[in-house]
Amino acid sequence: MSERFHLATPPVAGQAALSGDEARHLVRVLRAKVGDRVVLFDGAGSRWLAEITAINRDRVELRTEPPITEAIPPGAAFALAVALPKGERQQWMVEKLTELGVARLVPLITTRGVALPTAAACARLERTVIEACKQCGRDRLMVIDEPATVGDALRRQPAGTSLLIADPAGETAAPAATAGPVLVLVGPEGGFTAEEIAAAEGAGARRVALARHVLRIETAAIAAAARFF
Amino acid sequence: MSERFHLATPPVAGQAALSGDEARHLVRVLRAKVGDRVVLFDGAGSRWLAEITAINRDRVELRTEPPITEAIPPGAAFALAVALPKGERQQWMVEKLTELGVARLVPLITTRGVALPTAAACARLERTVIEACKQCGRDRLMVIDEPATVGDALRRQPAGTSLLIADPAGETAAPAATAGPVLVLVGPEGGFTAEEIAAAEGAGARRVALARHVLRIETAAIAAAARFF
């Protein structure tokens, strides 16, 4: 795969430009020259083969070929609502969920959660999503949604969404795959409270156990994406 | 869950001792005192509730209750043969595979692999397995097997093992769960060579695609454990 770069704004009339980190990486790290070819993607599902036409200070101009649009995958639109883990485990989780094709991540605000989904934290995660998309060949960014409580996360789902909540005391058999959208909720280190589980079950969520042992937050999220997506 | 400590040798007549890192962690970090209670596990499936009876320099003595033996999980004995990723991704992968209950990890020697499964690397991974078992409540260690080529890894399997090889060009549908042992092979960053895939197919392995995008080694290994175990 060619080197991939994220476009902040789509090309106009076959002309595009990279600036900021993307331009610096291309010019200073990869030492690109006029005439070199790269792949640009907009994060909304389109990519372009492009040729560098000019290199200025912190800005690279490119001529683009017609776009190639990534098909929306058949089957479920898969979303996860997760109480964010701490430190670098947060970035690690987001990298993996992006690679695995998760459509949307809702940072969960829970009673026992410790890592707050601040605006700065969510912005960092969006940068991680872009880096993972560059690396894994994904053209449509995983959306980092507005932080939400369990109740809000459930209320915001489209009608007909299959709801699952990770709970060590839940069913161990994998539910059958469904055709429509799926949302899996994953709680904080101390687990969901009885009230949070009751709210989810009240909204129709099934409790599922993802493994026999205690999973860290990021392991549970990745396992849910691999099993139910 | 109480704090868990790994026993290098099983208790004799209700007496056990911790030394080295485990003793230091208990005394210096957790500031344990005579009379405190902890959980000991041997990594072979047994654990003991224990009470500290003496604290010496770098050695802690304990009185143990009768052992509790972790049942061998029903269903498949699940093994992964993986071309090790580089750097801390190696530890991260082993932590996650341990949490998810993988029975055995074979470090794969492949044509395109870059991280060599040296004795020192495998020893580090064994330490990671113990730490993950302490954290996730698992009493039976994940075995870090002898490094092997694709051919050797396949030849060493018990008869009747279901063989899968991760390959972006393989089937996307998940194979049906099987009752017997399962081995999944995951290749290096540059992928398996045509010869390695042919060797696996010749031995009866099915090629499976784990996701639509390019997965890093550790993501593929974790996804395989979550999907096929």
Q: What is the pLDDT of residues A64-83, one digit of tens each?
A: 999 999 887 666 689 999 99
Written in H, E and C, the secondary structure of B33-98 is CCCCEEEEECEECEEEEEEEEEEECCEEEEEECCCEECCCCCCCCEEEEECCCCCHHHHHHHHHHH
Q: Residue B171 has what pLDDT? A: 85
Q: How far is B191 from chain A (nearest CA, A)?
A: 13
Residue B212 CB: number of other CB atoms within 10 A? 17
Share of chain A above pLDDT 70, in %: 95
Q: Residues of A at the B interface (Cβ-Cβ below 8 Å)?
A: 1, 73, 92, 95-96, 99-101, 135-138, 210-216, 219, 222-227
Q: How far is A169 from chain B (nearest CA, A)?
A: 15
ipTM metric: 0.89
Q: What is the pLDDT of residues A87-128, one digit of tens each?
A: 999 999 999 999 999 999 999 999 999 888 999 999 999 999
Collect all residues of chain A within an 8 Å Cβ-Cβ radius of residue B137: 213-214
Task: Give the span between the Cα atoms of B67 and B162, in whole angstroms.
Answer: 34
pLDDT band for position B218 (50/70/90)? very high
Task: Give the span between the Cα atoms of B218 and B224, in whole angstroms.
Answer: 10
Task: Give the span between the Cα atoms of A168 and A214, in whole angstroms.
Answer: 8
pLDDT band for position B42 (50/70/90)? very high
Q: Residue B84 has what pLDDT? A: 96
CB A219 within 8 Å of CB A186? no
Of A99, A138, A210, the CB nearest to B219: A99
pLDDT band for position B135 (50/70/90)? very high
Interface test with B, best of A213, A214, A218, A222 (most B CBs within 10 A): A213
Would the pLDDT of A1 be above 60? no
Tracing tokens 């690396």 back to the chain, one arrives at A135
Q: Residue B172 has what pLDDT? A: 80
Q: How far is B94 from chain A (nearest CA, A)?
A: 12
Would the pLDDT of B69 be above 70? yes
Domain boundaries, chain B: 4-69, 78-228
Q: What is the pLDDT of residues B162-201, one digit of tens each?
A: 999 999 888 887 666 667 899 999 999 999 999 999 999 9
Q: Residue B49 has what pLDDT? A: 95
pLDDT band for position B227 (50/70/90)? confident
Are B222 and A219 an interchain contact pair (Cβ–Cβ within 8 Å)? yes
Are A99 and B73 an interchain contact pair (Cβ–Cβ within 8 Å)? no
Are B212 and A101 an interchain contact pair (Cβ–Cβ within 8 Å)? yes
Collect all residues of chain A within an 8 Å Cβ-Cβ radius of residue B219: 95-96, 99-100, 222
Of A138, A210, A225, the CB nearest to B213: A138
Task: Give the span between the Cα atoms of A61 and B77, in whole angstroms.
Answer: 55
What is the CATH number assigned to the segment(s) A4-69? 2.40.240.20
Region of A226 (left: φ > 0; alpha: ψ -120 to 50; beta: rest) is alpha
What is the CATH number assigned to the segment(s) B78-228? 3.40.1280.10
Would the pLDDT of B13 be above 80? yes
pLDDT band for position A84 (50/70/90)? very high
Structure tokens at A45: 């599902």
Task: Give the span between the Cα atoms of B89 and B216, in whole angstroms.
Answer: 10
Average pLDDT, chain A: 92
Give the predicted TM-score (pTM) of the model: 0.90
Structure tokens at A167: 């709970």
Q: Residue A175 has what pLDDT? A: 64
Would the pLDDT of A174 be above 80? no
Q: What is the mean pLDDT of residues A169-175?
A: 77
Q: Residue B55 has what pLDDT? A: 95
Average pLDDT, chain B: 92
Collect all residues of chain B within an 8 Å Cβ-Cβ radius of residue A101: 211-213
Q: What is the pLDDT of residues A5-32, one digit of tens each?
A: 999 899 999 999 999 989 999 998 899 9
Task: Give the span between the Cα atoms of A96 and A151, in whole angstroms.
Answer: 26
Q: What is the helix, strand, coil percentage profile of chain B, to 5? A: 30, 30, 40
